[in-house]
Structure 1
Amino acid sequence: MRGDGGARDGAGRVVVIGAGVGGLAAAARLAALGHRVTVLEAADAIGGKLGTYERDGYVFDTGPSLVTMPQVFEDLFDATGAPLADAVDLERLDVACRYTFPDGTGVDLPGRIEEIPAALDAALGAGTGEQWAAFTRDAAAIWDVAEQPFLRSPIGRGTLAAMSSDTANLTTIAPWLSLRAFGARRLHDPRLRAMLDRYATYTGSDPRRAPSALATVPYAEQAFGSWYVRGGLRALGAAIARRARDRGAEIRTGVRVASIEHDGARVTGVVTAGGERVAADVVVANADASQVYGELLAGAGARRRLRALRRATPSLAGFVLLLALEGLPASLRERAAHHRVLFPRDYDDEFDAVFGVGRYGRWHGGGGPRPVDDPTVYVTAPQDAAIVPGGSAGLTRGEGAWFVLVNAPRHDPARGADWDAPGLAEAYGRRILDVMARRGLDVRPYVRWVETRSPADLERSVLAPGGAIYGTSSNKSASAFLRPANRGPVRGLYLVGGSSHPGGGLPLVTLSAEITAGLIGPA
């Protein structure tokens, strides 16, 4: 094997811990490079946070609900043997998202960037389109500066130092500004500022503290489009797994790794919870970095990395409702759109609540993080015959498999929200349905059943501590660029996935796999 520093030291035996999208993408790339790859997944199914729930003919994506930056997946499939178009059916959304604001106004934001200014002017008033266009130009400039060194390359403090020494780049990125402050230079309409604030939550962060560099998130979504995978996003995870297997990788589910073994100089393999030792020259951990350094890896290097992680602010979590609907009238189906966001009157209270600062609501009167009294509600309502009972006829009858998400504090009984408290999750789920109704999307009469997923459930199902599915937040100026490095503290150990560089979300975890495969190199 010639990667990992260039030394030839074995036959390229690679163990990937975890079959999330990052792990599967790494397995596919490394298998294509000639390594003998074994993926060990603790759950009984692949996909990680790209989960699926099926019941009574309803099918739900329980994690990401859209694909952005499709070129990242095209690169993955091209590099491993055949085009993406041969593997999944990607559909670009004409309306990326329907936003509804507390003053009763709203906008259907087009899925093509060149159409957005006119849509904003028509829905929110003359001049709003140019405000957003001016912001987008600023964000595009950051993208041009940051994409290659920060999203497609290994990261370290040296990268930041080099960027900081270039005055022009530093001025473009404006790291001294929060995302909200950066947007406020161009966005004078409070509704546009609310739209921008929401993008901080894509990294589990607070827009008042997250860095200006996160302006690239809405830019990328709008420049490259919002896409849906016919049959649900589970099809994308399945396609990556097929590609990995086609290139020779073995994927084993129901196998939990208990420890990563090393001899003090480099990794030697892993030991499973059942006591099996699987030898390896390289271990790629597609697991939360705090779990890798707190539970799986022993030694001083792991302890140093863990201390650094504990100094960071954990990301917010999510509270999910899976709504099986029947008999929806056409008026409600039309008002739903594929993606919809219902904004509250006080967005700051939401961030105060989930991060445990500022004012305190009535759900947890003692202070600290608590469920949001009046949350932003994100609804995904695909019009897809493959995910409802009866197929096309079911859609005609008004059946729907809706995914509803609100931001929530981490599950942390000692210092904040105890999502396992009797009755809390169920009561909060009913509250969210009431909030939706007040904001014009009342589906309560059409609910056949509802499945609730709290941050405590997420912690158990995807092994994200506290249900903080984005790992650490980007609530400090450099934190977006200083997630745990892909190269671990022991030779031969690598990290991929949402808690490591370059961050969370389907395209970024897939880029983490590309970066890591590049570090390891061919067998």
Structure 2
Amino acid sequence: MGGVARVVVVGAGLGGLAAAARLAATGHAVTVLEQAPQVGGKLGWYGRDGHGFDTGPSLVTLPQVLEDLFAATGAPLSEVLPLQRLDPAVAYRFADGTTTAMPGHLEDVPARLDADLGPGSGAQWAGLLTRAEAMWRATEQPFLRTPLAGAATLARLARDTADVRTIAPGRTLRGLGAAYLTDPRLRMLLDRYATYSGSDPRRAPAALLTVPYAEQAFGSWYVPGGLRRLPEAVAARAVERGAVVRTDAAVTEVLVTAGRAAGVRLADGEVVPADVVVCNADAASLYGRLLPPQAPVRRARTALRRVTPSSSGFVLLLALRGRTPGLAHHTVLFPTDYDAEFDALFGGRGRRGSPKRPVADPTVYVSAPDDPATRPDEDSESWFVLVNAPRHEPGAGVDWTAPGLADRYADQLLATMAARGLDVRDRLRWRVVRTPADLERETASPGGSIYGTSSNGARAAFLRPANASPLPGLFLVGGSSHPGGGLPLVTLSAEIVAGLVGPA
């Protein structure tokens, strides 16, 4: 860009904060505006009576991305925030009663699967991850770390036909998995990774196979004290480099002057002028609500209407008496019929227009860190329980504010957990219920979509909103823009945007 730019960052989620830190470190005058009373976005925290809960992501993958961020902006990550590698990363319980736990190191996985699911299971999974590793090497630099440029991005990926065959652009995650995995339990393990982006494995591209590879090759990590410490540390780094972070500052409009972004207007009428606006709000909110109707972004708005929003989540925060022997950091309780879950989330067989509904027999995710910061004493536990849920869409789908619905569904989930071997109802001190409607209200994510747009459809990744908007001076970071949702990808989006803006 050349010269010091006045940069306004809309939203203090991890993507916005990382962009602020990088841009401030390269000499720009950066102001971050966050509607909530605290930074973090979906990386929230809830505390009560000594119990504490991360209310968003519960593990860190691809720690190198965070190490790159901190190294580029000041003191290294190791001096600021310790990371603890999880081993096992996740424990799984299937409907037939069998269990397995995914080791924290890739080389240990095949033997564990053989022991728990039967001989040959490990070799099948290892074969699949060999393909996943090739996909990772083919896509990491040209896709994950590079701005999205439509056909040009496809051309970069197609620099040789071997890469195209590796990525399998016409195949789904479910379809590619079926070519390697014969055990239905292994197929369930793979399908789960589609939900990392709020997607349906029957429609999501095979390239999502890179997610389990990255998780198992580079490890799953926890931040002692809770992942909420991550955005706090990045915000502190941004301020250290000269950025200003303002909370309780809701942006209601991105201003356009002479055909380029010129600043923002706040809810109280204050105008904050800028040469560059970096939007960490959901792309649907940006293009649908924050930009004036006459803004030159018609094609971006049209493209956004062609993608499927990601699913949301229904959460229970459980304050429990006593401890659970042998409890892993993460536990996943699978249902008998996984497809029924995706039918409920996305309607029918993933077709638009079919009725969406709360999942009757959902996969249950339990995050229970063994961390003194999360409990009042050693004879207590704090569980974050998540199930995938359709977005909040009154009149068009599920109205999560309907009287009694949230509590009835919470009771049903506790009964489901009990039926699958984790009955904590007699240990419950209290519970807090958080629905997709709550998520929408607290994070301004339309319908409570956790990941912005889903990866449903073979070309979904290339339809995701680009980091450089069609409006000069306006850039997008965060899970609803390229390269996608999840902590490492939103952090990479900030790296891409900082590169597009350039140093002062």
Q: What TM-score results when the alignment is normalised by the length of structure 1? A: 0.94
Q: What is the distance in 2 between the residues matched to 1:159 and 1:480?
A: 10
Offset of residue 147 of structure 1: 0.3
Instruction: Calculate the aligned-residue CA RMSD, in Å.
Output: 1.4
Could you say what secondary structure the match of 1:451 adopts?
strand
Q: Is the contact between residue 349 and residue 359 of structure 1 (CA under 8 Å) also seen in structure 2?
A: no
Q: Is the contact between residue 256 and residue 295 of structure 2 (CA under 8 Å) also seen in structure 1?
A: no
Could you say what secondary structure the match of 1:353 adopts?
helix
Alignment of 1:427-442 (within 5 A): 427-442=408-423
Match of 2:360 in 1: 373
Structure 1: gaps (5+ residues): 3-7, 361-365
Match of 2:155 in 1: 161
Between the aligned residues of both structures, percent identity stands at: 63
Match of 1:423 in 2: 404
1:213–1:359 Cα change, 3 Å: closer
Offset of residue 300 of structure 1: 4.3
Q: Which amino acid aligns with 1:339?
A: H
1:55–1:131 Cα change, 3 Å: same
For residues 195-231 of structure 1, the C-alpha deviation after alignment (integer angstroms, 9 at most, x for no partner) is 0000000011000000000000000000000000000
Q: Is the contact between residue 155 and residue 482 of structure 1 (CA under 8 Å) also seen in structure 2?
A: no
Match of 1:303 in 2: 298
Q: Which amino acid aligns with 1:416?
A: G
For residues 9-29 of structure 1, the C-alpha deviation after alignment (integer angstroms, 9 at most, x for no partner) is xx3110000000000000000
Offset of residue 359 of structure 1: 11
1:421–1:137 Cα change, 3 Å: same
Offset of residue 401 of structure 1: 1.0
Q: Are residues 1:211 and 2:192 paired?
A: no
Q: Are residues 1:386 and 2:373 paired?
A: yes
Q: Are residues 1:107 and 2:100 paired?
A: yes
Q: Are residues 1:239 and 2:233 paired?
A: yes
Q: Is the contact between residue 156 and residue 482 of structure 1 (CA under 8 Å) also seen in structure 2?
A: no
For residues 91-113 of structure 1, the C-alpha deviation after alignment (integer angstroms, 9 at most, x for no partner) is 00110100111111010110100
Alignment of 1:140-155 (within 5 A): 140-155=133-148
Match of 1:5 in 2: none
Offset of residue 490 of structure 1: 1.2
Q: How many residues align?
A: 501
Q: Are residues 1:201 and 2:195 paired?
A: yes
1:307–1:359 Cα change, 3 Å: closer
Q: What is the distance in 2 between the residues matched to 1:52 and 1:38?
A: 24
From 453, 461, 473, give the equivalent of 2:434.
453
Q: Which amino acid aligns with 1:315?
A: S
Q: Is the contact between residue 455 and residue 461 of structure 2 (CA under 8 Å) also seen in structure 1?
A: yes
From 483, 500, 514, give the equivalent of 2:495.
514
Match of 2:341 in 1: 350
Q: What is the distance in 2 between the residues matched to 1:169 and 1:462?
A: 38
Could you say what secondary structure the match of 1:95 adopts?
coil
Match of 1:191 in 2: 185
Q: Which amino acid aligns with 1:91?
A: Q
Match of 1:131 in 2: 124
Q: What is the distance in 2 between the residues matched to 1:221 and 1:358?
A: 28
Could you say what secondary structure the match of 2:297 adopts?
helix
Match of 2:41 in 1: 48
Offset of residue 166 of structure 1: 2.9
Q: What is the distance in 2 between the residues matched to 1:163 and 1:269?
A: 35
Q: Which amino acid aligns with 2:435?
A: S
Q: Are residues 1:86 and 2:79 paired?
A: yes
Q: What is the distance in 1 between the residues matched to 2:331 and 2:220?
A: 13
Q: Which amino acid aligns with 2:363?
A: T
Q: Is the contact between residue 143 and residue 157 of structure 2 (CA under 8 Å) also seen in structure 1?
A: no
Match of 2:288 in 1: 294
Q: Runs in 1 of length 4+ with deviation above 2 angstroms?
A: 161-166, 299-304
Q: What is the distance in 1 between the residues matched to 2:354 and 2:7?
A: 47
For residues 363-389 of structure 1, the C-alpha deviation after alignment (integer angstroms, 9 at most, x for no partner) is xxx960000110000000101001111
Q: Which amino acid aligns with 1:90?
A: L
Q: Which amino acid aligns with 2:322?
A: G
Q: Is the contact between residue 294 and residue 302 of structure 1 (CA under 8 Å) also seen in structure 2?
A: no
Could you say what secondary structure the match of 2:12 adopts?
coil
Alignment of 1:221-240 (within 5 A): 221-240=215-234
Q: Which amino acid aligns with 1:444?
A: R
**Please, which moves more after superposition, 409-418 or 13-22?**
409-418
For residues 50-102 of structure 1, the C-alpha deviation after alignment (integer angstroms, 9 at most, x for no partner) is 01111111111000000000000000000001110111121001101001111
Q: Which amino acid aligns with 1:275?
A: G
Q: Are residues 1:171 and 2:162 paired?
A: no
**Please, which moves more after superposition, 274-283 or 66-75?**
274-283
Alignment of 1:479-498 (within 5 A): 479-498=460-479
Q: Is the contact between residue 498 and residue 508 of structure 1 (CA under 8 Å) also seen in structure 2?
A: yes
For residues 467-499 of structure 1, the C-alpha deviation after alignment (integer angstroms, 9 at most, x for no partner) is 111111111101123310000121110000000
Q: What is the distance in 1 between the residues matched to 2:261 and 2:165?
A: 42
Q: Is the contact between residue 342 and residue 350 of structure 2 (CA under 8 Å) also seen in structure 1?
A: no
Q: What TM-score results when the alignment is normalised by the length of structure 2? A: 0.97
